[in-house]
A and B are shown apart, each in its own frame.
Chain A
Amino acid sequence: MVTAQSQFDLYENANIHRGMYDLSNQATKKFENARTQTARFLGCNNADTIAFTQGTTASINIVAQSFLAPRLQVGDNIVTTIMEHHANFIPWQMLAKKYQIELRIAPMNKDGDLDLIELKSLIDHKTQLLAVSHVSNTLGTIHPLDEITRLAKNKEIPILIDAAQSACHFEIGVDSLNCDFLTFSGHKMFGPFGVGILQVSEKYLGDMIPFNFGGGIIKDVQIEKTSFRNFPHNLDAGTPNVSGVIGLAAALKLISDIGKSDMESHLNNLTLFALDQLPQVPGIEIIGNPKKRIGIISFNLKNIHPHDIASFLNKDGIALRAGMHCTQPLLRSMGLQATARISFSIYNKEEEINKLILSLKELINFWS
């Protein structure tokens, strides 16, 4: 990823879709190849379903503004869940407020699994979107997307899936997941920061209307009116993050070369090993016990705040996130103020989990 990006920055740097010179043409070609490559990564032949964005948050906000806002009417509702990252919650909350529609929030049970019966009861003929994540960034819950998407597809309701936590190790795509909008970020899959993907199903490509105006997205501009290109070329007004996109394409190649199923099974083994070993830490409380979980485990220690845990483990070279993980509604619904969170990647090893456990035990001894 770094090599691909720096090759572009050092030797091939030029703006795209602009110049009539070789360097620009070559940059355009690389950029558009990245689109084709991304489509293929998502099991799709149509590169025009892919928009490059600044990340998951940006992708979700684009769906909110470009697709959803223009079709909302008083009395409509949007359905999401209590388990979402703020990025997949606040945009809907804001639309609900602005357009006086209802935001319906599916609850979860105490194990950290979505309550599918409740979810089903929230979806009706006035639902304009179902927005749900694939994997919870706080509990690691893998949501049963087959069942969930069926609930909405039966009623022809558009579905958005936030795949920020699953894009790296699960087969995803609007076709394979049976959804209409798919969002994820480069930096969670060995790609650069500040670049991400929005994939839109062919059914709704024509409903993606521009909302962020400027150069690069137009067909024709007259003093009285402007006509626009089609999705995805009607979204990225201005100059896109060309080197970021080229870096992202290299990251996708890396993931394909390693193989998603190998990644998934490695993460799964680490998660199971950690769940097996962590209970030996005195006073540990593992948060949630979902039916299926991958890569992420939240926990608390008796009497030691997650921030203090993270600060001390940092001194042992262990990077642990502590706090609310941008999921305040989720934590509140569990009566929690913060958690410490372990998250694994392909480079982690079982020895590191053993080291984590030793560090936690040492911290508990020190604290008492």
Chain B
Amino acid sequence: MTKQELQQLYKCEILPENEKPYHFQKSLEASFSIEAYNAICGDKYTLYFDISEGQISSVYFYGIGCALSKASISIMCKNMENLNPENIINLSKKFISGMNPEHPSKPINKKIQLLQKLKDFNGRGDCIKLGWEAVKNHFENNEV
């Protein structure tokens, strides 16, 4: 990825999402919360899930991290609302496998596709996957 391509992607996708992230606030009344923490770099977010009749009705998040992890979690939160736990696991699996440079990205939607363009952006895959991995692990290992 050239510097110009990187700038373009940041300007159009990452920075707007980073500046005005979706549902970026603590939600202490939420049904449950998940911690997304990268111990190597210190990025740390709490994701707040509300569940109603077997479906995730809202997702909020709050914390500190780089523009990429924040933008990625913001996009993730929007995409996880109104899904049931099984679909959340499937979506996160699809996203994470699409982030593997060896795998072709599977189209999910335009925003996510743009985010996945950054998979060739060396060394930052963990930032982009941070929230998704935390959600996948939680939903796979816990009864919701």
Residues of A within 8 A of B (CB): 304-308, 311-312, 314-316, 322-324, 328, 331, 337-338, 366-367
Q: Say if the beta carbon of B7 comes within 8 Å of chain A.
A: yes
Q: Are B41 and A308 in contact (CB under 8 A)?
A: no
Q: Which residue of B lies closest to A368 (CB)?
A: B15
Expressed in whole angstroms, the Cα–Cα distance for A304 and B65 within the complex equals 10
Q: Are B64 and A312 in contact (CB under 8 A)?
A: no
Other than the known A315-B2, A337-B43, what 7 A-B pairs have Cβ atoms closer than 8 Å?
A305-B67, A306-B66, A311-B6, A311-B124, A316-B3, A328-B42, A366-B7
Q: Give a binary string over B44-79; 1 marks a CB under 8 Å from any A CB, 0 the rest.
A: 100000000000000000001111100000000000
Q: Are B6 and A323 in contact (CB under 8 A)?
A: no
If the complex has contacts A307-B127, A308-B67, A311-B121, are A324 and B6 also in contact, measured as CB distance less than 8 A?
A: no
- Nearest CB of B to A185, in Å: 19
Q: Say if the beta carbon of B12 comes within 8 Å of chain A.
A: no
- Nearest CB of A to B121, in Å: 7
Interface size on B, residues (CB 8 A): 23
Expressed in whole angstroms, the Cα–Cα distance for A337 and B67 within the complex equals 14
Expressed in whole angstroms, the Cα–Cα distance for A324 and B64 within the complex equals 14
Residues of B within 8 A of A (CB): 2-3, 6-7, 10-11, 15, 39-44, 64-68, 121-124, 127
CB-defined contacts of A308 to chain B, threshold 8 Å: 66-68
23 contacts between A and B (CB under 8 A): A304-B67, A305-B66, A307-B41, A308-B67, A311-B6, A311-B124, A312-B3, A314-B122, A315-B3, A316-B3, A323-B41, A323-B42, A324-B40, A324-B41, A328-B39, A328-B42, A337-B42, A337-B43, A337-B44, A338-B41, A366-B7, A366-B10, A366-B11
Expressed in whole angstroms, the Cα–Cα distance for A39 and B124 within the complex equals 42
CB-defined contacts of B40 to chain A, threshold 8 Å: 323-324
- Nearest CB of A to B1, in Å: 8
Q: Are A311 and B42 in contact (CB under 8 A)?
A: no
